[in-house]
Amino acid sequence: MVTYRNKELFVENVSFKTLASTYGTPCYIYSKKYLVEQFSDYKNAFKGYPQTIICYSVKANSNLSILKVFKEMGSGFDIVSGGELERVIAIGANPKKVVFSGVAKSNEEVKKAIEFGILFFNVESFDELEVINKIAKKTRHVAEISIRVNPDINPKTHPYISTGLKSSKFGIPIRQSFEIYREAKKMKNIKLIGIDAHIGSQILDLDPFEDSLERLENLYFKLKDENINIDFIDIGGGLGIKYKDEDRPPSKKKFAQKIIKRMKRINCKLLLEPGRSLVGNSGYLLTAVVYKKNNYKKNFLIIDAGMNDLLRPALYGSYHKISKVIRSHKDEKIYDVVGPICETGDVIAKNLSMNDVKLGDILVIHSAGAYGATMSSNYNTRPKIPEILVSGNKTFLIRKKETISQILENEVII
């Protein structure tokens, strides 16, 4: 969605230079066209299996305007907190397209979700199952649930975003899950409707998805033999995106072909929870060069965006492509690109080759649409930055810049 026109970088039909001038830096920029295209790709890929529900994973990017774009395209939502529940309520989401995941749902969150009428909870422990049953009984409801099983699949991704191994905090080991299903069937205020698995994030190989679904299929038929009939298989999300040239994510079409082939044998409803693959490459972090510096032959570009704005490089060692808004071919140097935060780990890129960089130059950090704004913080009492949605030649402020007063307003001096 970005191209150079006369050496100037554009997103859709708006230049990043204009965006920086209008909204200041740092700020997040999103392409609506990209969001629409990616969701349409999923819908088209799975049209051969009409029993499919696509539930966007809210944690990837929870801005209300972005949620609304997906809702208007027919998306459901995968949520992991009471706050995310309030977000999908605020945009008028269909409760029968909302699933609630996460390992530590509070009593209040469970109650609110039951009363909202969500499609089902992805239950991650027997304790949680008992809590949901008690709250459903107290509120005179029957809670529909899916049990998140841990298939012990290695998704070949970063350890921090691998969630399907037996050592993970997520889910119930698949070998134990059969007995949990049998116990759940006895609970009067629980209705079993699903099996769920989520093996990780940023997965670039389709084999782990197929291996996981094979294990879910075996469990599905084992439960059926026990007269426990399941309506949904929830395969989670996790399809990766391209961060750098050597990344080769599989197409949504190939992904769907593998999933549909096995789902036709199972013949029940399919639910998937894409996040990063819908929003990751829609987003850009716009930042300015504040200072240049040289320490013992090491060149630094100090920018006004920091690890509080984009945590992924510090947390995971993640790569993000960085481009100049105005292209140049002069005076190439190698830099470490660092932010203003008082931490040695506040490094956005190491050994980056850049041409003719001057103070005040605007840089674009790519692939920042997923786990960028949602993981940002107020560390060093830095306000959270604006977010802007670009559609064609129009721009929309979809999150105002936070003020220091807003940061301080809940603190109490005693």
**Pair (13, 62) in one structural domain:** no
Q: Is residue 346 part of a domain?
A: yes
Q: For this structure, is 27 an active site residue?
A: no
> pLDDT tens for residues 196-255?
998 888 888 898 888 899 999 999 999 999 999 999 999 998 899 999 877 788 899 999
With a cut of 80, say whether residue 45 has pLDDT above it.
yes
In this structure, are 245 and 331 located in the same domain? no
Q: Provide the whole-model pTM.
A: 0.94
Assigned domain for 124 exists: yes
* Predicted local distance difference test score (pLDDT) of residue 158: 40
d(CA 186, CA 190): 8
Same-domain check for residues 94 and 203: yes
In a domain? residue 159: yes
CB atoms within 10 A of CB 246: 7
Sign of the torsion formed by the C-alpha atoms of 314, 319, 320 and 323: positive
- Asked whether residue 413 is assigned to any structural domain, the reply reads no
Average pLDDT of the chain is 93
Q: What is the pLDDT of residue 84?
A: 98
Question: What is the tally of structural domains in the chain?
Answer: 2
> Do both 162 and 123 map to the same domain?
yes
Last residue of a domain, one of 277, 297, 313: 277
Residue 171 has pLDDT above 90, yes or no: no
Tokens of 93: 């989401």
Q: What is the CATH number of the domain that holds 238?
A: 3.20.20.10
Say yes or no to pLDDT of 156 above 70: no
Both 21 and 83 in a single domain?
no
Residues 117 and 48 in one domain: yes
Note whether 317 and 210 are same-domain residues: no
In a domain, 74, yes or no: yes
Q: Does pLDDT of 32 surpass 70?
A: yes
pLDDT at 263 over 50: yes
Residue 213 within any structural domain of the chain = yes
Q: At residue 212, what is the residue type?
A: S
Residues 173 and 240 placed together within one structural domain of the fold: yes
Residues 264 and 326 occupy one common structural domain: no
pLDDT of residue 247: 76
Give domain status of residue 155, yes or no: yes
Which of 231, 257, 277 is the C-terminal boundary of a domain? 277
Catalytic residue among 27, 55, 268, 342: 342
Q: Among 227, 249, 277, identify where a domain stops.
A: 277
Is 414 a domain residue? no
Residue ranges making up the domain that contains 268 = 32-277
| End-to-end C-alpha distance for the chain, whole angstroms | 51
98 and 17 in a common domain: no
Q: How far apart are CA 89 and CA 104, in angstroms?
A: 20
Distance CA 206, CA 220 (A): 21
Residues 261 and 292 in one domain: no
Q: What is the mean pLDDT of residues 36-58?
A: 97
Q: What is the dihedral of CA 90, 96, 102, 105, to 10 degrees?
A: 70
254 and 301 in a single domain? The answer is no
The pLDDT > 70 percentage for the chain reads 96
**Which CATH number does the domain housing residue 359 bear?**
2.40.37.10
Token code pair at residue 312: 């992924």
